[in-house]
Chain A
Amino acid sequence: MKLRQGRIGLFAGTALAALSLFTCGVFSIDPKTAYANGNSTYLSLPLAVIISLSALIPAMLVLNWKRVGLNGLFTYAFGKVGGIVAAVILSVSFVWAAAKPMTEFLLVLTRLVYDGVPYMRIVLYILPVTVFIAWKGFESVGRLALIFSGLILISVAAAALSASPEFAAYRLYPLPSGNADFFKTAFSGSVFFLPPLAALLVNEEGLGGVKNVRKTLAAAAFISAAAIGLVQFALALIYPHRVLSGLLMPLYRINFLSLRQSYALRLDKLFIMVWLLGCVISCAYLIYSASYLLTKTFSARDVTPAVLTVSAAVFFLVTAEFSENYARAEAVGSFFSRFGSLFALIPPLLAAAVGSIKLKKESRL
C-alpha cells in the first residue's frame, strides 16, 4: 500500500491544521461580502472557527466508539454508494479550500509583485511544487508545517507591528452590532475552516487515533482563532471597511500607510514569499487529505492517482479566474461563498447522526 500517510505528533498536527486555518481565514475571504456593512471579521471569523470545530464534535464522538476512520464512517452510515457520494462531496470542499487562497496569492504575485510575468507562468512555478509536497504524504506535509509555522507567525507579527504606529481606533467604527450580517459572515466563513479541521479527521491514523485528533483539533482551532482575530483586528485598525472591501490582500499592504523610510517598508515582498510557503503547505495538506479520503473510499492501494486527479481539479479552479471560464468561475465562487460550508458540514454531521442511530441499535441487539 502506497498511501504515504506516515505518522506525526501533536505539535506537527497542530501546526499543520492551524497554518491551514490561518491561511484560509486571512487570505481567502471575499472582501466584497465580508466588509459590505462594516468590519466584524475580527470577531466573526474566530467565531466561524469555533462553529466549525463544534460541527465536527458529533463525528468525533461517533468515531470514538466506531474506530473506522471518517471514510469508514461514511460507508457505515450511508452504505457503499452513499459513502462514495459523501466522500466526494467532502473532497470538493477540500479542493475549494485549497484553491481559493492559492488563487489569491497568484493574483497578488501577478498584479503587484512580478512585472509583466503571465499568470500561467507563475501558476506553473508554484503548483508543481505544491503537488509534489502533497504526493510526498501527510508526514512530509506535517513536518514542513512544523518547520515553517514559527517563521510564518513571526513574519505576520512583524508586518502587523511595523504598521502599529498608524493604528487608529476610529477605523473600527461603526462597531459590529451582532446583527444578521455578523452571523451570516460567521456561518459562511466556516466554508474555509471546516475543510482543514475535517482533514484532521480524515488523517486520524496519521495522528495516532481519535484521542490525538481531538487534542489537535482543539489546539489548532483555538490557536488559529486567536491569530486570525488579532490579524483581522490589526487590519481593521489600519483600513476602514470601505477600503478593505476593494483591497486585494490587505495584509500585504498593511504598512503602506507608514511613511518612515525604514526596512519595514521593504519587507512586504519578503513576507509575501513566507506567507506563500504557508499557502503551499495548506494547499498540499488539503490536496493530500482529499486524495487519501478518495483512495480509502475506493479501496485503492496507491494515493498517487488520486493526488493527480485532485491536483488537476485545483489547477482548473486556480486557472479558471484567468481564462475564458472567468464568468463561470465567478458564479462558482459566488455559490461557494454562500453555500460552500454545507459541502464540508453535511457529510460528517449526517454520517454522525445516522452512525450514532445505527450504533445504538447495534448495542441494543
Chain B
Amino acid sequence: MRKSIIRLIAAVAAFAFVLPLTGCLQPVSLDECGFVISIGVDRGKEKKFYYTFALQRPLSEQNVKDEGGAIALSSEGESIFEAINEMEGNVPYSLNFSRTNFLIFSRETAEAGDIEELVSTSFDALKIRTSAVILVSEGNASEFIGGMYANNDANISKLQSALMLDEKKTGMVTVMSVSRLLEACSDARFDYCSAYGVYDGDIVTDTEQKKSESEGKNPLEDVKIGDRAGGLKSSITGAAIFSGYKMTGVLTRYETMLLNMVTGAFRTGVVTFPYKDGDSTVSVLLSLKKRSISVNEDLTGEAAIMLTAAVHEKDASVPDDEIDAWLTGELAGIIADDMLRVFLKCRSADSDAMRFGTGAVKLFRSAEEWDAFSWKERYRDFLPEFRVTIENTDKYLNENMQ
C-alpha cells in the first residue's frame, strides 16, 4: 500500500516535472505579428523601391462588416529589409511573411528585371513560401493592391482564391508560383509568365453601390453604359510573358487562353467567335482533351491540341446543320492560326512561354549536351506547326437524345 502511494506520488511528480519542458521555441503571441498577405513593389521616389504590404486584419475584426479585410502599409527602401525596418518602427507588431500569397510588381520594375533581386535573396530570410504567386500590374502595384482590397470584403480568403477561380472557369488567366519562376530561370527549359492586371478607379464597387443604396441613391448612378460595375477595381487582363527574370511582353486574355492550351494548363472556357467573317457570332465552350508538343533536331516541331467544343449560344442566322462542320473545320483552323500568332509574339519577346524547351530537352542524353545546345539561343530559329482538332460534344448529345 505504502509502495503504491509512493509510486503514485513519484509518477505525478515526474509528470509535473516533464510538462513544463514541452512548449515552443521563442513563442510569439498572434497579435504581436502582422501577417503580410501581399507585397507590392514599385519604383521609389527617393530610394530604389517603394514597397506596399497588405496585412490581414486580426480575426476578431474580420466579422465587423464595416471594416475592410486588409491593412495597407507602405515604405521606401533600397531593399525590402530596409523598408521592413522602417515600417516596424512605426507599428506595434512585427511583420510576418509566412502567409504571403501574392507578389505584385509594377510593369516598370518587372521590365527592369527587379524581380530577381527580391526573389533570389529575400525569400528564405523572410520565410516567404515559394508557392506565392507573382502578378504584374500595368500601373502602380500599390494602387493595384488597394484595388484588390477596396471592396471592403472582410473575407480575405475569398479574394485570394478569386484568381485561381478565374483560371479554372475561364482559362484566360495564368497563375504560376515563384517556384516556377526559379525553375524557369535556373533551368532554361521554358520561360515564366504571370497574370497581368490593371487598376480601374472608375469601377463602382459592390461596397460603393451598397453605400448609395443605404443613402437612398441610385447605386448605378455613376456607371456609364460600357463601363464595368461591381467586383474589384483591380482585374486581370491577360498575362505578362518573361525572358528569364525580365518581363518582355503582354498577352490579352484570349491570347493567354491559347497559351494555356499549348502548355496544358487550360481546362475550360467560353469564347465568342465571328461566324464565317460575317456579323454573326457563336459562343463556344472549349475544353482541353489532350495536348502534346514535340521538338525535332532541325528546330521544327509540333503542338497537337485536341479540344472538345459545345455551342452555348449562336445567332439565329447561323444554320444548325453547318455548325458541326464549322466547329471541326474552320474554327480549328482559326485557333491554330491564332496559336501560331501568339507563338511568334512570344518568340519576338524572347520568351519560351509555350514551353517548347520541355520538349527539346528530351532529345539529349546528358546534362552537358543539353547545356551545350543552348536552347535559349536556338529558340529564336525555332518554328513549330500547330495542329488543332475539335470534337463537337453537342453532336453526340443530340444524336443520343430522343
Given B177, B187, B365, which contacts A175 in the complex, CB threshold below 8 Å?
B365
Query: Is residue B175 within 8 Å, beta carbon to beta carbon, of the partner chain?
Result: yes
Question: B179: which A residues are within 8 A, CB to CB?
Answer: 253, 256-257
Asked if A259 and B131 sit within 8 Å, CB to CB, the answer is: yes
Q: Which residue of A lies closest to B361 (CB)?
A: A173
CB-contact partner of A256 in B124, B129, B189, under 8 A:
B129
Q: How far is the CA of A258 from the CA of B130 in the complex (A)?
A: 10
Are the C-beta atoms of B124 and A259 separated by less than 8 Å?
no
* A158, CB-defined interface residue at 8 Å: no
B-side interface size class: 20 to 34
Smallest CB gap from A268: residue in B: B129
CB 8 Å contact bits of B123-156 with A (1 = contact, 0 = none) = 0100101110100000000000000000000000
Report A-chain residues with C-beta under 8 Å of the C-beta of B367. 37-38, 174, 241
**Distance of A256 from chain B, by nearest CB (Å):** 4
With A173-B364, A179-B366, A241-B367 as known contacts, state yes or no: A259 contacts B177, CB within 8 Å: yes
A114-B26, A173-B362, A179-B366 known; A259 vs B133 contact (CB < 8 Å): yes
Nearest Cβ in chain B — how far from A118, in angstroms? 9
Is A243 a contact of B186 with CB atoms below 8 Å? yes
Within A213-252, the residues touching B (CB, 8 Å) are 239-243, 246, 248
Q: Which B residue's beta carbon lies closest to that of A241? A: B367
Chain A stretch 138-173: residues in CB contact (< 8 A) with chain B? 168, 170, 173
Given known A-B contacts A37-B368, A170-B359, A259-B131, A115 and B96 have beta carbons under 8 A apart: yes
Chain B CB within 8 A of A263 CB: no
Q: Does B182 interact with chain A (Cβ within 8 Å)?
A: yes
Quote the shortest CB–CB distance from B260 to chain A (angstroms).
Answer: 14
Q: Count how many pairs of residues, one from A and one from B, have CB atoms less than 8 Å apart in the complex.
A: 82
The A-contacting residues of B in range 362-376, CB under 8 angstroms, are 362, 364-370
Q: Does A121 contact B (CB under 8 A)?
A: yes
Binary flags per residue of B161-180, CB closer than 8 Å to A gives 1, else 0: 10010000000000101011
- Residues on the A chain within 8 Å of B175, using CB: 259
**How many angstroms between the C-alpha atoms of A251 and B376 in the bound complex?**
29
Give chain A residues whose Cβ lies under 8 Å from the Cβ of B370: 173-174
Give the residue name and chain of the B residue nearest to A37 (CB).
B367
A37–B183 CB distance below 8 A: no
Q: Does A177 contact B (CB under 8 A)?
A: yes
Is A111's beta carbon under 8 Å from chain B? yes
> Is A112's beta carbon under 8 Å from chain B?
yes
Q: Which of B96, B131, B369 has the most CB of A within 10 A?
A: B131
CA distance A243 to B130 in the complex (A): 13
- Chain A residue at smallest Cβ distance from B175: A259
In the complex the two chains form, is B164's CB within 8 Å of A260's CB? yes
Shortest B363–chain A CB gap in Å is 9
Within the complex, the shortest CB–CB distance from A42 to chain B, in Å, comes to 15
Determine whether the beta carbon of A115 is less than 8 Å from that of B127.
yes
- Chain B interface, DSSP helix/strand/loop, else mixed: helix
Residues of chain B contacted by A122 (CB below 8 angstroms): 25
Q: Collect the chain A residues with CB atoms within 8 Å of residue B369's CB.
A: 174
- Contact partners of A125 in chain B: CB under 8 A: 25
Interface residues of A in 160-215 (CB under 8 A from B): 168, 170, 173-175, 177, 179
B183, A243: Cβ atoms under 8 Å? yes
| A261: interface (CB < 8 Å) | yes
**Bound CA–CA A240/B189 (angstroms):** 10
The interface residues of chain A lying within 8 Å CB-to-CB of B364 are 173-174
Most B CB contacts (10 A, CB to CB) among A112, A170, A241 go to A170
Query: Chain A residues near B366 (CB, 8 Å)?
Result: 37-38, 174, 177, 179
Contacts A177-B365, A256-B129: A242 and B186 contacting too (C-beta < 8 A)? yes
A257/B177 contact (C-beta < 8 A), A37-B366, A121-B25 known:
yes
A353 contacts chain B at the CB level, 8 A cutoff? no
Shortest distance from the beta carbon of B271 to any chain A beta carbon, whole Å: 24
B362 to chain A, nearest CB (A): 5
Tell me, in angstroms, the Cα distance from A83 to B175 when the chains sit together.
62
Number of chain A residues whose Cβ lies closer than 8 Å to a Cβ of chain B = 35
Complex alpha-carbon distance, A179 and B368, angstroms: 12
Bound-complex Cα distance A219 to B358 (A): 39
What chain B residues lie within 8 Å of A179 (beta carbons)? 366
Judging by beta carbons under 8 Å apart, are B25 and A112 in contact? no
A265–B127 CB distance below 8 A: no
Which of B26, B182, B362 lies in contact with A243, CB distance below 8 A? B182
Shortest B89–chain A CB gap in Å is 17
Q: Which residues does chain B contribute within 8 Å of A112, judged by CB atoms?
A: 124, 127
Q: In the complex, A112→B129 CA distance in Å?
A: 9
Q: Which residues of B contact A177 (CB under 8 A)?
A: 365-366
Kindly state the separation between the CA atoms of A117 and B24 in the bound complex, as whole angstroms: 11
Residues of B within 8 A of A261 (CB): 157, 160-161, 164
**Closest CB in chain B relative to A262 CB, distance in Å:** 11
Q: Which residues of B contact A170 (CB under 8 A)?
A: 189, 358-359, 361-362
Give a binary string over B267-281; 1 marks a CB under 8 Å from any A CB, 0 the rest. Answer: 000000000000000
Min Cβ gap A112→B in Å is 6
Tell me which residues across on chain B come within 8 A of A114, comparing CB atoms: 25-26
- List of B residues within 8 angstroms of A173 by Cβ: 361-362, 364, 370
Task: Name A245's closest neighbour in chain B (CB-CB).
Answer: B186
- Residue among A177, A240, A257, A259 having the largest count of chain B Cβ atoms under 10 Å: A259
Chain A contacts for B131, CB-based, 8 A: 255-259, 265
CA distance A177 to B364 in the complex (A): 10
> What are the residues of chain B within 8 A of A113 when measuring CB–CB?
127
Bound complex: CA of A197 vs CA of B263, how far in Å? 46
Cα distance, A240 to B25, chains bound together (Å) = 34
**Shortest beta-carbon distance, A125 to chain B, in Å?**
6
Which residues of chain B (23-45) have a CB below 8 Å from chain A? Answer: 25-26, 28
Q: Is the CB of A259 within 8 A of B186?
A: no
The distance in angstroms between the C-alpha atoms of A257 and B359, with both chains bound, is 20
A115-B127, A240-B189 known; A174+B361 contact, CB < 8 A: yes
**A138 CA to B362 CA, complexed, in Å:** 49
What are 13 contact pairs spanning A and B, CB under 8 A? A113-B127, A122-B25, A125-B25, A170-B359, A173-B364, A175-B365, A177-B365, A239-B183, A253-B179, A256-B129, A256-B177, A258-B131, A259-B175
Further contacts, 15 of them, CB under 8 A, given A115-B127, A259-B131: A37-B366, A115-B96, A121-B25, A173-B361, A174-B364, A174-B369, A177-B365, A240-B186, A240-B187, A242-B187, A243-B187, A253-B130, A256-B131, A259-B177, A261-B164
B-to-A contact residues, CB < 8 Å: 25-26, 28, 96, 124, 127, 129-131, 133, 157, 160-161, 164, 175, 177, 179-180, 182-183, 186-187, 189, 358-359, 361-362, 364-370
